[in-house]
Chains A and B, each alone.
Chain A
Amino acid sequence: KNQVEQSPQSLIILEGKNCTLQCNYTVSPFSNLRWYKQDTGRGPVSLTIMTFSENTKSNGRYTATLDADTKQSSLHITASQLSDSASYICVVSDRGSTLGRLYFGRGTQLTVWP
Chain B
Amino acid sequence: GAVVSQHPSWVICKSGTSVKIECRSLDFQATTMFWYRQFPKQSLMLMATSNEGSKATYEQGVEKDKFLINHASLTLSTLTVTSAHPEDSSFYICSATDDYEQYFGPGTRLTVT
Do A and B belong to a common assembly? no
